[in-house]
Every structure is written in C-alpha cells, then in structure tokens.
Structure 1
Amino acid sequence: MKAALKTQEGTFEVREVDQPELPGPDWVLVRVRIAGICGTDLRHWRKHEADLAGHIMGHELAGDVVAVGDAVSNVAVGDRVVAETVLGCGHCEYCRARQYNICPDLYATRRRTVSRAYGQFLVAPASHIYRLPQHISFEEAALVDTFSVCLHAQHLSGLTINDRVAVIGAGPIGLGQLMLAKASGADMLIVDRVASSLAVAQDLGADLTVNPEEDDPVAAIKAFTGGRGADIVFECAGGTSMPQTLPLATQMVRRGGKVVIIGGFDAGVTEIGLEWQRIQMSEIQLIPTASFAWHRLNKEQGEVVELIGKGKLDAKRLITHRFPLDRINEAFACGEGKAQTGAVFIAIEM
C-alpha cells in the first residue's frame, strides 16, 4: 500500500509499504479514504524526533471496511466507518475502568495499529469501529476525532445552558468547542489572531470574536459578562503559545470558574508563570483533558457520530482544503501557514 512515513527532518516521504494484516478475530481492516491534519500533527511537523522517524502517522480518518475477523458482528465488509484511534493496552486498571485515554501505554499501543491514518489501510479492533450514516461524507467523518476531544472536554467542564464561555484558539478544536457549547445553550466569546478563523467562528454562531492584536480579551470578557468573567474558559491553542494563553485563560475566568486545558504541551517541563495566589483564593479550577473515551453509558466518539448525523455539529463548514496523499508535505505547509491560507481543517485524500 501507499503510505506517508515521517523522515528524520520531520517531513514526510510517500512510498510503498506492506499492508497490515488482521491481528485477531475481533479486528477490522479499513481502507482509509480521508485523513485529517490536527494541531498535534502540526506541532510535530518539520521537527526532528528520532522515535517517530520511519513511522506512519495520523489519527483522524474515515474509510470503508474491506475485511473482518471471524468474531466481528457490529460491522461488515463494505460499511462506511470511522475508526477510533484512542486505543489503550486493554488490560491495565485504567483500561478496565474504561479510561483508556489515560492508559500508560496509550501512545505505544495506538501507533502500532490504529494511529496510522496516513497509510491507505489500517487495522482496528471492532470495538473501536463506528458505522456512518449514509448522509455523512468521509470528509465530515474525518472530523469525528476532533469533535470527540471537544465533547470530552465539555463533559469534564460541566457546561450547562446560559453559561458564559470563552474559547482561546479558533482552530478545529476551538471551533468544535464553540459549536458544542452553542448547541448546549451557552453564550460564546472566542479569541484568535487569525482573521479568517474568527470569520468562521462568526458563521458558526459566536456571540463575540476577539483578535488580541486589536482588543484586550480580558476587557472583552468582562464587558461580555457584566464585569464577572467567564464561567468556563477552554484553552484550545496549546503548543508554543501555551505560556501566553494559559495565563490569559486564568485572567478571563470568573472567581469560582473553570479553565479547561485542551491545547497540547510538548514533552518535558514547560515553564508557565501563573497568579497562583489569585487562582487559589478565587477557587478557580484548572481541568486538564486528554483525548476521549467513555461518558457515563456512552462512548464519546459514538455520541459525536450521532451528533453529526442529526445536524447538531456542522463538520462541513470546517473543511477548507483538500490534498492528495502525494502532496502531504504541501498540505502540512498549508496548515502551518493558516494566517495566509485560511486553513481550518485539511483533508488528505487517500
């Protein structure tokens, strides 16, 4: 099969590799049709990481089933599906408690099988396969992973109707967070430096958009909430901006409010100065989130497929660019230069 492999320099080389085989009777072979590029992928772009060199990457995908093991009953050959790429070891105490998103061996496990979306085929356990309604396109379905991250964060936040909410970062995660919060009855302010991203946020129902290069987000949220501050702030930017955006989130939230940390950190120690006395005396909660898994009786990725199917999440509005697999490096450059290209979600056609 054709696949894009990470190079020592952190770009991609497209070449022929062996197609994976079913590892057991309860596994499924999927022909990937669309893969996406997320913020985590972009943080690893053009970055030397010896442990990733030569590996197939990618974790946002949709495709169709081409083979199933003898024990599989929930999907059949020919079904259009999403494969969930958050896969734990399956036997540790966290996996047994259905919190496989914090499994100690999560990344090593998923890289061997499901987290290989930039290849034409991958294998996944049948428990991590979701059949798609016919009216959901492969491109829309490739955003299911993104929205699942957002849904998990909203579940942890306790967001409810009439909350005043701020989102920092108007990438796919931030815009997905906006859509979910609006669907739940919240009033929304969103912050970003990219004008085209803020325009999308307005189209999706943001009550107020703020460019921090033009206006003060803290003053904006105070005016938006009658001087109180946000009930919940979702930090959705992450990466190298976190030393600025996390302190900003704690300044925008009200006393007794919550800051939900979704944007990712790089490995190692990240030095971030915060007003810890104010955070403590105001009983501000800092809530880290990691991917998604289960919420109560439901798998969060299955809930997202249902939400898109019902029209409660507008995945189509986030898809701005499409590239064939052979042009994956160009696709990543497009995502990196979103201020110039207007990129939000980039679909890789496999």
Structure 2
Amino acid sequence: MPPISVAILGAGIFARIAHLPALRKLGDTYELKAIYSRSQSSASELAKTAEDILARPASSFDLYHDAGQNLDALLARTDIQAVIIVLPINQQPSIVLKALEAGKHVISEKPIAPTVKEGVKLIKMYEAHYKDKGLIWRVAENFEAEPGLRAAGKAIADQKIGKVCFWNMQVLNNVETDSMWYNTPWRTVPEYQGGFLLDGGVHSAAALRTVLPSKFTELAGFASLNREHLAPHDTIHAIIRSEDGSHGIFELSFGLPSSPGHDSFRVVGTDGTLDINRYHEKDPETQKDQAFIKVTIKNAKTGQKEEIVERSCGVERELENFAAHLNGHDDGLGTPQGALQDVSVIQAALDSHGRGVDLQHLILSAD
C-alpha cells in the first residue's frame, strides 16, 4: 500500500519523543507532510526534530501556525489523509470534530475528553455525522496497544491462572516542578479534573481494561492532594468490582516525595497468579534506555512458571493498527468507547468520596 499522508497537530513533548520515533520505526507506512502548532517557533522546533529522527530536511515538512497559514489551511489540503492530534486535553475534542468535518481520518491522544460527558458527546457526534462517511477516528492509548499487556490479557483469557478472583495495581510516581512533564503551562495550571491523575492515570485504567477479562461495574474510593504543586489532586485509592464478581485495589499517585517510583500489577486467579512489571535496559547499540514489560505467570496447581518479555512499543503499535484500519483491517484497538471507560474510572475515583459509583450509569447518565 502507498504511504498514508499524515499531519501532526501539536508540537509538544509527546509528539517529539514518542510519535516521531514511532513514525520512523514504521518506515513507509506513513509520510509526514505537515506540522501544526499554535506558534511558529514550536512548529519549527518539531520540524527540526523530525529532520533528525526521520532523516528528511526540515524544509520538507510544511508548517502551519496561528500567526500565518493556520490549521484551517492545513485541513483544507486534499493531499493529507489523516491527522495525529497531540494537543492539550481541553483542546482536543473540538479539533477532533474540526478534522473530521474537513474529511480527515483522526487518531487523537488520550484521554478522549476532559470528562465523561464531553466524551459521550464527542462519540455521539462522530457516530451521527462522520462514521457512516467512512471516516475513522481512534484514540491513541498506547498502554492498550502494548504487546506485553496484551499478552497478559491473552494469558488470563486462556485460563492460565484459572478464573480471576482479585487483583492489585499500584502505580506511584514522583513529579517535581523541574519535570519536563510538569513544565508545560496547561499542566502547571490544569483546567480539567484531576490534573496528572487524568492526564497520566488513564494509562493505568487502560492497562486494567486490557488485562482483566470482565468490564468494571462499580467503584468506591478517595482522592487527595498531598503536594501543592500537583493540584487539584495527586492521589487516588479505589476498590473496583467487575461483572464477573472479581474485584481489586487501584492505587495511583503522582505525589511520591522521591524517585524512583513504583509500578506493579498482580492478578490472582483460582489456579495461580500473574504479575506485570516494567523495567529498563540500555540498548547495546544506541546506549539509550529501552523499556520492557515482563509478565510472570505461576500456576499453583502444576507448579509451572512462564515468563513473557516484550519491548515497550505502544505508540508504534497504535499507529501501526491505525494504518491497518485505514487499509481495511480493523482489530478493534483504540476505540473511543474503550477510552471513555478509562476516563470514567478516573472521574469516578475523583468524585466518589467513599461512596459507590455505578460506572455503567455514569456513562449512560452523561448522554
């Protein structure tokens, strides 16, 4: 198939360190034609980074910004098939609709929207006005696409630990004021619920959704702020129940007072346990850190132990799957409905105050 002509909307950190390297890994799958950012300087900086990563002159990427040829001009181009939207959380829903209205296929960064209500509205607009026109919209949730997490989900579906009984996920992060993730204006003073808990926490919710076999039904939890620079909240603790009767503890914090953080996920079944851990190793060629996901499966009945190790490459996989969908092969990855469930988990944990929240009702009542 010929390369998919694509534009990147947004020139921030994740476009630079994740999407451009993923496009390089995918070779001729995509052809990056244009870059949009609010300012000319940020669009130019991303073009320079793309020159290094994609081995093409910066001048080969057409630049659009609000002080010159703007987003409307980019979206009017008939030679661009799809857009990768990597913009601040509050801006994304309107830009998704703008791109769809211009006839572009869309893959937009997580979360789907700042709230469940806005996510539901966005999905309804897509299904009512654009889906039947053949336009494809996917949400880029890289944890859902991680081969290691998908392998863990398959192992559980294959009954390698029997029926799931309970689970525990603990994700503790340290975000200081000098962090590159903190030092962006829209994150420093977030105009959306939860701050980093929404921005980063949907990844953990997506991991739960990818690995566990049954849809969540109810959540009860508490949220708190422990470090003032991470307002409005930096920590949530929740108990979640699923349709199959299993339940677990979800502990998420960006307010750890020191590094390194901690990341663990254990699922206990009737016949054994499954553990998921992340770790880093230096690539022997580049000497750069490479992240890996290790899945350890222990069957208590047979005594058998199995380990699965996969390179962390979720952004690469999500873009690969998006391209496959555009070429007629849909494996169901990155659906807006799945991303909406992730937001519902975070929103419920923020709003629970110890009371049970019906997660299905939270989504249905937002209609």
**TM-score, normalising length: structure 1:** 0.35
